[in-house]
């Protein structure tokens, strides 16, 4: 059996296998910490979303829990004022260059962004910052069967990470820079990609928001939403 470490989170004592990150330790024990860019087992977490902050006794200032290994005797606080302030700031920045229509989105009600908004008591549109959506088309259809919606994307990098680990000859990547950073399917027109991706689905399934979807499933979904709207109007 692996060594266990015991630590205190928000006054609660929890035990986890040594080597677990503080983020995973909390999530596994039902203590929610907002997070977008982390995936279980990542060797080098990008720590780019800056949402998973916690305070630890003896450490200066809030730290990202996805990069912090749980240590015996650690005392962690997930809900201090400073943590919440920084989380709110990070979230506002995120949605300031984000734009989606939840009503028609396939991820509606199972979207991490909605969940985090609710958790932090923030709206999905912030009035405190200028809204700067990406200067790219609303919908990108480079891929033979997967659709990408850049303005829903939170650039968490999960899709790029899982796709790389599939070891398919084709792989997703980030492209551009700054505000215009997107995920790219460049090269996916190559032979065999469509079939491989239909079998794989990894990126579509891991996306925490609704930025990736299979074109046919999205079509069907949009038709259903429209039909539902029609029915409501008629009824």
Binding footprint of ligand SF4 on the chain (CB under 6 A) = 153-159, 162-163, 166, 168, 170, 172, 183, 196-197, 200-203, 206-209, 211-212
Of 92, 74, 78, 69, which Cα lies nearest the Cα of 33? Answer: 78
Kindly list the distances between the CA atom of residue 119 and the CA atoms of 25, 35, 79, 87, 139, in Å, as whole numbers in the listed order: 19, 11, 11, 11, 29
**φ/ψ (deg, to 5) at 65:** -75, -15
**Would you mind telling me the total number of residues written for the chain in this entry?**
235
> Residue 39 binds what, of other proteins, ligand FES, ligand SF4, none (CB under 5 to 8 Å, by partner type)?
none
- The reply to whether 154 sits near ligand FES by the rule CB under 6 A is no
The C-alpha angle 66, 67, 69, rounded to 5 degrees, equals: 95
Q: Positive or negative, the Cα torsion across 39, 140, 192, 210?
A: positive
Per DSSP, what are the bridge partners of residue 213? 147
- The reply to whether 20 sits near ligand FES by the rule CB under 6 A is no
Which tokens in the block code for residue 84? 């919440």
- Pick from 142, 195, 205, 216 the residue near other proteins by CB under 8 A: 142
- Pick from 20, 38, 111, 148 the residue near ligand FES by CB under 6 A: 38
Rounded least distance, CB 111 to other proteins, Å:
25
Rounded least distance, CB 59 to other proteins, Å:
34
Of 213, 235, 5, which Cα lies nearest the Cα of 108? Answer: 213
The C-alpha angle 214, 216, 222, rounded to 5 degrees, equals: 100
Give every CB contact of residue 146 below 8 A, 6+ residues apart in sequence: 185, 188, 197, 203, 204, 212, 213, 214, 215
Rounded least distance, CB 167 to other proteins, Å:
11
* Residue number with CB closer to ligand FES (112 or 149): 112
- The reply to whether 140 sits near other proteins by the rule CB under 8 A is yes
Q: Per CB under 8 A, which region of 21-29, 64-72, 102-110, 186-194 contacts other proteins?
A: 186-194
* Residue number with CB closer to other proteins (169 or 230): 169
- The reply to whether 213 sits near ligand FES by the rule CB under 6 A is no
- The reply to whether 37 sits near ligand FES by the rule CB under 6 A is yes
- The reply to whether 32 sits near other proteins by the rule CB under 8 A is no
* Residue number with CB closer to ligand FES (52 or 207): 52
Cα gap 64→42, rounded to integer Å: 14
- The reply to whether 36 sits near ligand FES by the rule CB under 6 A is yes
Which tokens in the block code for residue 68? 């912090």
Cα gap 190→67, rounded to integer Å: 37
* Residue number with CB closer to ligand SF4 (17 or 187): 187
Binding residues for other proteins, rule: CB under 8 A, are 136-137, 140-142, 169-177, 180, 182, 184-190
């Amino acid at each position: 059996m692996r060594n266990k470490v015991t630590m205190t989170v928000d006054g609660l004592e929890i035990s986890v296998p040594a080597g677990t990150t503080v983020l995973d330790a909390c999530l596994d024990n039902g203590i929610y910490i907002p997070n977008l860019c982390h995936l279980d087992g990542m060797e080098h977490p990008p720590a780019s979303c800056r949402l998973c902050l916690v305070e630890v006794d003896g450490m200066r200032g809030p730290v990202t829990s996805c990069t912090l290994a749980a240590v015996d005797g650690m005392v962690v606080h997930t809900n201090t004022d400073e943590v919440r302030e920084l989380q709110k700031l990070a979230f506002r920045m995120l949605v300031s260059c984000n734009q989606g229509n939840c009503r028609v989105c396939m991820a509606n009600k199972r979207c991490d962004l909605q969940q985090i908004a609710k958790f932090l008591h923030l709206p999905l549109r912030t009035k405190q910052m200028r809204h700067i959506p990406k200067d790219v088309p609303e919908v990108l259809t480079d891929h033979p069967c997967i659709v990408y919606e850049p303005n829903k994307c939170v650039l968490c990098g999960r899709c790029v990470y899982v796709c790389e680990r599939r070891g398919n000859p084709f792989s997703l990547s980030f492209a551009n820079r700054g505000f215009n950073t997107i995920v790219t399917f460049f090269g996916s027109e190559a032979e065999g990609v469509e079939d491989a991706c239909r079998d794989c689905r990894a990126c579509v399934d891991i996306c925490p928001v609704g930025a990736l979807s299979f074109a046919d499933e999205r079509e069907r979904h949009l038709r259903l939403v429209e039909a539902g709207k029609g029915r409501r109007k008629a009824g």
